């Protein structure tokens, strides 16, 4: 469409150029074989000309008994009769035909005067139309942007969602409600109105909702929360209205609002007053949800990874009162997801789904899907026919730590990195509750200079105090090793320190694992500012100091323990660092070959 419009403009410009050329240059000059008028006169004198035709100033003389024609020009306003007479030729000796051009000339004059104006008008029309369409684009924002999934579209089914059995069961119940409401009504069951899908990012919330669209066989309106908020104030609310209107018309239907936290945040806790638009949209959703009866067979599905941020009005009974939780996949679920995404990719025989699932504790479904895709890309890049365990390992590391960055490192930096990572690994290895070292590397990734991986070997729903303390100790092992070997420390430990401090803070303020005892000390941040500013939940300065002291105690003790361990196993530390400088990366078996197996 726009291509055509562009073309039209070019054609118009070309046309006007052409007309300009005609006007200024007076049209194309003769065909090249024009002869002087004297030649025509001479031929007439010699009686060789049959007929002379005059067309404006153009003279065409037809030569007798031949097809030849002489073309010439006379001066403007001169009469051919006069010319012939003054040359001593009798005009009657030849047939003269004068074509009247005056009207034709007048037309050409008019057209060439008007056409540029017409073209200008045309151009302006096109420009205006463009502008108007743009404006309409803005006004059409007010209509719902919800995409409608109908029966005919390529569909995702529940079988495309691996694991998440409980969520699938609950959601298929809801599909049942829509299909056979009477069955439920007969027993007095109230049909749910709003269902909230809750879970960390990448756990398949969007995916499973698509699957519902595929399974339900009813119109499915899908929109992302952020799509309500665009450019014009007041648009969000009218979009909500429009979407509900459409859905009601086509009931039974499902409305799906993805990432609802972008509109459904708690109201009234912002300091800036700039959230009116969001509030209006939210209010409209609440109004609409109250405004339909269960008989209308409309179900509102929403997904969020931050249910804690949602406005209380949104989650009260009668609105989003049902929750379906999607959590990070456990071992069996990871296996299922891996198997699902392995389909269509060739793997070497020694790839073990079981091992892969064990290696990927804490990975979400999206992480797993990405990992497998990344492995395929890596294998393809190296021209392999099938994906090897090595590619999968690299992809898994990349998924969590970012891609390798080979960069020039001075020998001194490499040595520092080697001791730093060896420090984490050795300290961790000799702590009872820290998971075994999976891999150590001094190849930098993302922002880290190297890495030591202790991926969890099991799905834990709980952490113990002793394990948390040991994790802090291992995290501080890197800097402790630098200190021990070089008598100096580097900036490379910044993120280790952050991790250690966060664990320590949680131990003190949430888990009751310090001398302060089992008290919860929360100061919930709101938009980056302490919430206490508005509702008086602030910590007293005294409590604040006490928390700081407890955190410090934990960190200090752990750091000392790391130092003690490193002094004790200094020989092994040296060996591991040396091996790292040689090989850059040590796998778990190579590491255990040096330090002995984990007890």
Q: What element of type H or E holds 258?
A: strand 253-258
Quick one: 206 or 585, whose CB is closer to ligand ADP?
A: 206
Least separation in angstroms between residue 493's CB and Zn ion is 6
Least separation in angstroms between residue 459's CB and ligand ADP is 15
Task: Decide if residue 483 touches Zn ion (CB under 5 A).
Answer: no
Stretch that binds Mg ion, among 42-50, 97-105, 199-207, 578-586 (CB under 5 A): 199-207
Least separation in angstroms between residue 172's CB and Mg ion is 20
Which of Mg ion, Zn ion, ligand ADP, none does 144 bind, CB closer than 5 to 8 A by kind? none
Least separation in angstroms between residue 211's CB and Mg ion is 13
Task: Decide if residue 340 touches ligand ADP (CB under 6 A).
Answer: yes
Residue with structure tokens 């040595």?
415
Residues 56 and 98: their CA atoms lie apart, in Å, by 8
Question: Between vectors from CA 43 to CA 42 and to CA 44, what angle results, nearest 5°?
Answer: 90
CA-CA-CA-CA torsion sign (276, 282, 285, 290): negative
Task: Show the binding pattern over residues 463-482: x = contacts Zn ion (CB under 5 A), - = does not.
Answer: ---------------x----
Task: Decide if residue 206 touches Mg ion (CB under 5 A).
Answer: yes
Residues 526 and 270: their CA atoms lie apart, in Å, by 8
Task: Decide if residue 162 touches ligand ADP (CB under 6 A).
Answer: yes
Task: Decide if residue 305 touches Mg ion (CB under 5 A).
Answer: no
Instruction: Figure out which of the listed residues 366, 489, 575, 594 binds ligand ADP, where binding follows CB under 6 A.
Output: 366
Instruction: Figure out which of the listed residues 264, 496, 507, 508 binds Zn ion, where binding follows CB under 5 A.
Output: 496
CA-CA-CA-CA torsion sign (444, 450, 456, 460): negative
Instruction: Figure out which of the listed residues 37, 89, 161, 174 binds ligand ADP, where binding follows CB under 6 A.
Output: 161
Task: Show the binding pattern over residues 189-228: x = contacts ligand ADP (CB under 6 A), - = does not.
Answer: ----------x-xxxxxxx---------------------
Which of Zn ion, ligand ADP, Mg ion, none does 204 bind, CB closer than 5 to 8 A by kind? ligand ADP
The CB density around residue 453, as the number of other CB atoms within 10 Å, is: 19
> What DSSP string describes 87-152?
TT--GGGSEEEEE--HHHHHHHHHHHHHHHHHHHHHHHHHHHHHHHHHHHHHHGGGS--PEEE-TT
Quick one: 360 or 448, whose CB is closer to ligand ADP?
A: 360
Task: Show the binding pattern over residues 327-366: x = contacts Mg ion (CB under 5 A), - = does not.
Answer: ----------------------------------------
Quick one: 215 or 496, whose CB is closer to Zn ion?
A: 496
Contacts 24+ apart (CB under 8 A), 385-391: 385/346, 386/346, 386/347, 386/348, 387/345, 387/346, 387/347, 387/348, 387/351, 388/347, 388/348, 388/350, 388/351, 389/348, 389/350, 389/351, 389/352, 389/355
Residues across the chain: 599
> What DSSP string describes 276-323?
HHHHHHHHHHHHHHHTS-GGG-EEEEEEES-GGGB-GGGSSTTSS-EE
Least separation in angstroms between residue 477's CB and Zn ion is 8
Which of Mg ion, ligand ADP, Zn ion, none does 496 bind, CB closer than 5 to 8 A by kind? Zn ion
From the list 469, 470, 402, the residue with the least C-alpha distance to 435 is 470
| 421 a catalytic residue | yes
Burial (0-12, 13-18, 19+ Cβ within 10 Å), 208: buried
**CA-to-CA dists, residue 491 to 81, 473, 500, 552, angstroms:** 106, 18, 15, 20
The CB density around residue 141, as the number of other CB atoms within 10 Å, is: 19
Least separation in angstroms between residue 299's CB and ligand ADP is 18
Task: Decide if residue 423 touches ligand ADP (CB under 6 A).
Answer: no
Residues 272 and 526: their CA atoms lie apart, in Å, by 12
From the list 385, 372, 301, the residue with the least C-alpha distance to 340 is 372
Task: Decide if residue 60 touches Mg ion (CB under 5 A).
Answer: no
Which of Zn ion, Mg ion, ligand ADP, none does 264 bind, CB closer than 5 to 8 A by kind? none
Quick one: 144 or 203, whose CB is closer to ligand ADP?
A: 203
Task: Decide if residue 202 touches Zn ion (CB under 5 A).
Answer: no
Residue with the shortest CB distance to Zn ion? 478
Quick one: 41 or 301, whose CB is closer to ligand ADP?
A: 301
Instruction: Figure out which of the listed residues 49, 369, 468, 485 binds ligand ADP, where binding follows CB under 6 A.
Output: 369
Per DSSP, 408 falls in state -
Restricted to residues 523-582, the positions that interact with ligand ADP (CB under 6 A) are none
Quick one: 108 or 206, whose CB is closer to Mg ion?
A: 206
Residues 379 and 382: their CA atoms lie apart, in Å, by 5
Q: Are 15 and 28 contacting, i.e. CB atoms less than 8 angstroms apart? A: no
Least separation in angstroms between residue 310's CB and Mg ion is 16
Least separation in angstroms between residue 593's CB and ligand ADP is 37
Least separation in angstroms between residue 316's CB and Mg ion is 24
Restricted to residues 380-409, the positions that interact with ligand ADP (CB under 6 A) are none
Q: Are 351 and 388 contacting, i.e. CB atoms less than 8 angstroms apart? A: yes
**CA-to-CA dists, residue 271 to 327, 454, 527, 536, angstroms:** 33, 42, 9, 15
Catalytic residue among 259, 394, 421, 482: 421
Binding site for Mg ion (CB under 5 A): 206
Binding site for ligand ADP (CB under 6 A): 161-164, 199, 201-207, 337, 340, 365-366, 369
Binding site for Zn ion (CB under 5 A): 478, 496
Q: Which residues are catalytic?
A: 421
């Amino acid at each position: 469409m726009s291509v055509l419009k562009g073309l039209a403009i070019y054609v118009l410009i070309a046309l006007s150029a052409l007309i300009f050329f005609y006007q200024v240059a007076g049209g194309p000059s003769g065909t090249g074989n024009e002869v002087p008028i004297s030649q025509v006169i001479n031929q007439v004198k010699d009686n060789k000309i049959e007929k002379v035709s005059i067309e404006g100033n153009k003279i065409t003389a037809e030569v007798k008994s031949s097809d030849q024609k002489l073309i010439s020009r006379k001066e403007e306003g001169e009469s051919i009769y006069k010319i012939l007479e003054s040359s001593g030729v009798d005009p009657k000796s030849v047939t003269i035909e004068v074509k009247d051009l005056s009207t034709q000339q007048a037309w050409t004059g008019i057209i060439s005067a008007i056409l540029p104006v017409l073209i200008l008008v045309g151009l302006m029309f096109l420009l205006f139309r463009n502008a108007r369409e743009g404006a309409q684009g803005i006004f059409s924002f007010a209509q719902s942007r919800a995409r409608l999934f109908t029966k005919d579209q390529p569909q995702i089914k529940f079988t495309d969602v691996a694991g998440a059995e409980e969520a699938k069961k609950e959601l298929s119940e809801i599909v049942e409600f829509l299909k056979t409401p009477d069955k439920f009504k007969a027993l007095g069951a109230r049909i749910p109105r709003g269902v909230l899908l809750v879970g960390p990012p990448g756990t398949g919330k969007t995916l499973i909702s698509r699957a519902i669209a595929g399974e339900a066989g009813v119109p499915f309106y899908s929109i992302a929360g952020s799509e309500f908020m665009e450019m014009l104030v007041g648009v969000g609310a009218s979009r909500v209205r429009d979407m509900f209107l459409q859905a009601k018309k086509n009931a039974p239907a499902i409305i799906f609002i993805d990432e609802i936290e972008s509109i459904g945040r708690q109201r009234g806790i912002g300091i800036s007053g700039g959230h009116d638009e969001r509030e209006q949209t939210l209010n409209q959703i609440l109004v609409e949800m109250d405004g339909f009866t269960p008989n209308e067979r409309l179900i509102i599905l929403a997904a969020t990874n931050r249910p804690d941020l949602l406005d209380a009005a949104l989650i009260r009974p009668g609105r989003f009162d049902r929750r379906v939780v999607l959590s990070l996949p456990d071992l069996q679920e990871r296996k299922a997801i891996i198997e699902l995404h392995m389909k269509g990719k060739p793997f070497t025989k020694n790839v073990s789904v079981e091992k892969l699932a064990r290696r990927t504790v804490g990975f979400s479904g999206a992480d797993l899907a990405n990992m497998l895709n990344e492995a395929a890309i890596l294998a393809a890049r190296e021209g392999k026919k099938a994906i090897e365990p090595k590619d999968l390992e690299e992809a898994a590391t990349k998924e969590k730590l970012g891609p390798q960055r080979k960069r020039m490192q001075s020998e001194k930096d490499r040595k520092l990195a080697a001791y730093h990572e060896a420090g984490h690994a050795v300290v961790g290895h000799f702590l009872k509750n820290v998971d075994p070292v999976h891999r150590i590397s001094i190849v930098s990734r993302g922002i880290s200079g190297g890495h030591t991986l202790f991926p969890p070997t099991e799905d834990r729903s709980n952490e113990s105090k002793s394990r948390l303390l040991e994790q802090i100790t291992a995290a501080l092992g890197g800097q402790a090793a630098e200190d021990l070997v070089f008598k100096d420390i580097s900036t490379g430990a910044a993120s280790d320190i952050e991790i250690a401090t966060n664990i320590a803070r949680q131990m003190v303020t949430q888990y009751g694992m310090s001398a302060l005892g089992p008290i919860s000390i929360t100061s919930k941040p709101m938009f980056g500012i302490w919430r206490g500013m508005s509702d008086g939940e602030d910590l007293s300065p005294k409590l604040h100091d006490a928390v700081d002291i407890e955190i410090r105690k934990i960190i200090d003790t752990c750091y000392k323990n790391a130092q003690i361990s490193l002094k004790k196993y200094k020989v092994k530390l040296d060996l591991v660092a040396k091996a790292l400088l040689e090989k850059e990366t040590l796998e778990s078996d190579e590491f255990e070959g040096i330090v002995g197996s984990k007890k």
